[in-house]
Structure formats: structure tokens, C-alpha cells
């Protein structure tokens, strides 16, 4: 392990900083050391979901690691060569299978042959994008960039029981730049509904009553999908909509002691923020498109808010790849480019639209 290390402070970022670093380390062959992992979270350090991502990444590229253990706040990752193959990973809790997959997928796209990955854990987690978001919003745009990926939900998995299972088939692909800036068109709702498992269907009906009232949708056009008891107690409300050729999914996961109406309100509020902005994509989708754009070497999108995830993600990307990340505040009075360290200071800027542009750095 004699490689020079990229040093990353993970204090201000969540698991996204770690996942981005793992993906780019595998792809670029650059080793890194991260300290202060999830330092400002209520439970700092590696949880099982993060540890699974580290160990899975290490298996796929034959990496050597230090500190890869539960609750660790510092790790080293020394990558080897990416290997295609058939892989199976178990998180062991209801931690997000989606986030583990997003860590591995960019590297597997650059493997020498096709790969199959199965991951067990949570598929619908309050702190992560649900399966529907990945399948209907994120993956279509990644495929537009050239990725050849098939994703199947084999079992649902909710918090706290987990037990979900996904399978992804990934074929070698080269990513092309993506440009998404057509957010001024009106949005169209494609579908909206509720899913329940192991809880009364009446909870889903209350959520749909709320969706109907707030979105002005006929109640008879909305339905509850009941999984019975097969996946343990769980609930999700989702709104799928399109705007300017982009599909977005706004989902809210039901939790204990949170009223059904409040669960529905979360999805509606996020959908409304997107529709009332001039942004092409929502805040979460913007964050999760940054890594593929960086790997492609260029791209542009607009979003309604610069989250801390976006800012810390931009900083980590530029430690691994020679790409300039330009964050610009878009206003009717004129545009303002936000330069580091200004865009990394955690401020929320008073605007309903920002652009994220990536260009290859000059040699």
C-alpha cells in the first residue's frame, strides 16, 4: 500500500461523500484516506450500509482496506483492478440497497465484461432514494448517457425489518455528457399512489385522500397497492411526474408516529417545489447525477436548491478527477457564479434555480 493518498475530511458530509470517494477510487485507481466519517451525524462512523459499500467495492476491485469496520470514523482504501463477475452482498439490516448499488455501478460500467449484482437489505428507506426513484428517474438518465443497466426488484424491504432484494445486470459502457436545462416547461403527473405492507390499507387511503386534495386529482384515479404481510410493516407514498423530457419521482416513506397526512405532504411539498421552479431536476436527482456527469467529463443541469450534499459531492469529485464544477445562481436579475470556498460554506442561497456545470479542466 505504497500509493500516495488523497486525504478527505468526511466531517461535513454524510454517506454520499464516502460513496463518491469509493466509486472514483475504483475508477481512477487512486487510493484515499477519509477521516471524520459522518462526523456531524447523530450516529457518526460507518453504519452497516456504509460498511457493506466499502466491503463490496473492495471485493469488486481487489482493494486493500484499513479501518473497514462498524462505527469506524476513518478508513483507507487502496484499489486494485475492477473485475466483472457475479456478486452478492447482504447489508444485514434495512440499510439502503439502492445506495450500495449506486456506489458499485459506475465502476462495473468500466469492467471488462458484464456483471450481475444482488444486494439484500432495504429497498424503501427514509434516508435514501427508494427503488422507484432509481428505476424511473435516475436510471433512465444514466441510460441516456450510454449506460447499459437492467434493474429488478425481487423483494420489497422496509425499515426496520429489511429483507429486500434487488438484482442489477451491468454491461460495460462509456458515459456521454448529459445536459438538462429545460425546466421552464409545465410538469405533468404520470401517476401517484401509496404502497402498504403489513399495515392497515386505511392508512394508504388517508394518504391518497391527502394527495387528491392537494394535487387536485380525482380520488378514483388513485389506488393503494397492498403487499400483505410479505415484506413486513412498511409504507411509501410516491408521485411520478415528467417535465421537459425528464421523469422525477417524489417519494415519502411512512414511519411510526408520523400521521398518514404528513407522509403524503412530504411528497407533495417536494413535487411542488420542483414544479414551481425553473429547474430541470429535483435536488436529490441533481446530487445523484453529479458523479456520472463527472465520469463523462462534462455535463449541465439545473436544480432548485444547492444542498450540502451537492456542495460536498462537488468538492470530493474534484479531488479525484480533472473536472471543473461550476455552481451558478440563476436569477431574473442576472446569474452569479458561486466560487469555492463560497459554495462550500453551507449557506442556502435565495433562488429557486441553480445550474451545475462540469467541464474538463485544462491540462
Tell me the CATH number at 52.
Answer: 3.30.110
Q: Is 232 left (phi over 0), alpha (psi -120 to 50) or beta?
A: left
Q: pTM of the prediction?
A: 0.93
Q: How many CA atoms, within 13 angstroms, populate the side-chain half-sphere of residue 142?
A: 27
The pLDDT of residue 346 is 46
Instruction: Divide the 363 residues of the chain into consecutive groups of 10 and give the mean pLDDT of each group.
Output: 84 89 98 94 92 98 97 97 98 95 98 98 94 98 98 96 96 97 85 96 98 96 92 93 96 96 98 92 94 96 87 93 89 62 50 84 70
- Which residue of the set 78, 124, 156, 309 is catalytic? 309
User: In the numeric block, which cell numbers belong to residue 298?
Assistant: 462534462
The answer to the question of residue 148 being in a domain is yes
- Taking each helix axis from N to C terminus, what angle separates 15-28 and 283-296, rounded to the nearest 10 degrees? 20
Residue 134 is part of which domain span?
84-176
- Residue positions in the annotated binding site for ATP? 102
Domain count, the chain: 4
Asked if 76 and 11 sit in the same domain, the reply is: yes
The pLDDT of residue 278 is 86
Task: Quote the CA–CA distance of 16 and 315 in Å, as a whole number.
Answer: 12
Active site residue 124: no
The pLDDT of residue 252 is 98
The answer to the question of residue 214 being in a domain is yes
Tell me the per-residue pLDDT of 262-298, one tens digit each, with 9 for 90 and over: 999 999 999 999 998 889 999 899 999 999 999 999 9
Tell me the CATH number at 134.
Answer: 3.65.10.20
- Residue positions in the annotated binding site? 102
Tell me the per-residue pLDDT of 273-283, one tens digit each, with 9 for 90 and over: 999 888 999 98
The pLDDT of residue 330 is 81
Amino acid at each position: 500500500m505504497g500509493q500516495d493518498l488523497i486525504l478527505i475530511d468526511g466531517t461535513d458530509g454524510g454517506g454520499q461523500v464516502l460513496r463518491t470517494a469509493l466509486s472514483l477510487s475504483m475508477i481512477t485507481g487512486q487510493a484515499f484516506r477519509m477521516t471524520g466519517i459522518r462526523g456531524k451525524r447523530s450516529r457518526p462512523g460507518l453504519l452497516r450500509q456504509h460498511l457493506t459499500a466499502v466491503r463490496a467495492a473492495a471485493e469488486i476491485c481487489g482493494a486493500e482496506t484499513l479501518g473497514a469496520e462498524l462505527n469506524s470514523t476513518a478508513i483507507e482504501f487502496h484499489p486494485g483492478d475492477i473485475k466483472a463477475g457475479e456478486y452478492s452482498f447482504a447489508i444485514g439490516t434495512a440499510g439502503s440497497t439502492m445506495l450500495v448499488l449506486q456506489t458499485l455501478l459506475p465502476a462495473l460500467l468500466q469492467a471488462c465484461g458484464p456483471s450481475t449484482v444482488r444486494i439484500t437489505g432495504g429497498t424503501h428507506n427514509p434516508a435514501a432514494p427508494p427503488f422507484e426513484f432509481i428505476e424511473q428517474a435516475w436510471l433512465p438518465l444514466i441510460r441516456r448517457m450510454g449506460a447499459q443497466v437492467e434493474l429488478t426488484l425481487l423483494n420489497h424491504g422496509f425499515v426496520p425489518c429489511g429483507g429486500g432484494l434487488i438484482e442489477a445486470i451491468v454491461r460495460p459502457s462509456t458515459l456521454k455528457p448529459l445536459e438538462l436545462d429545460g425546466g421552464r416547461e409545465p410538469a405533468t403527473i404520470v401517476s401517484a399512489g401509496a404502497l402498504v405492507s403489513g399495515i392497515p390499507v386505511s392508512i394508504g387511503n388517508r394518504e391518497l385522500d391527502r394527495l387528491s386534495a392537494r394535487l387536485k386529482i380525482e380520488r378514483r384515479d388513485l389506488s393503494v397497492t397492498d403487499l400483505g404481510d410479505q415484506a413486513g410493516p412498511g409504507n411509501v407514498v410516491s408521485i411520478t411526474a415528467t417535465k421537459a423530457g425528464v421523469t422525477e419521482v417524489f417519494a415519502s416513506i411512512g414511519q411510526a408516529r408520523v400521521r398518514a397526512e404528513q407522509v403524503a405532504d412530504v411528497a407533495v411539498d417536494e413535487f411542488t417545489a420542483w414544479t414551481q421552479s425553473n429547474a430541470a431536476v429535483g435536488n436529490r436527482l441533481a446530487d445523484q447525477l453529479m458523479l456520472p456527469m463527472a465520469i463523462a467529463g462534462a455535463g449541465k443541469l439545473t436544480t432548485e436548491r444547492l444542498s450540502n450534499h451537492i456542495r460536498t459531492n462537488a468538492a470530493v469529485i474534484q479531488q479525484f478527477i480533472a473536472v471543473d464544477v461550476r455552481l451558478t445562481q440563476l436569477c431574473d436579475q442576472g446569474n452569479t457564479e458561486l466560487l469555492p470556498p463560497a459554495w462550500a460554506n453551507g449557506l442556502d442561497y435565495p433562488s429557486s434555480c441553480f445550474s451545475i456545470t462540469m467541464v474538463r479542466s485544462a491540462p
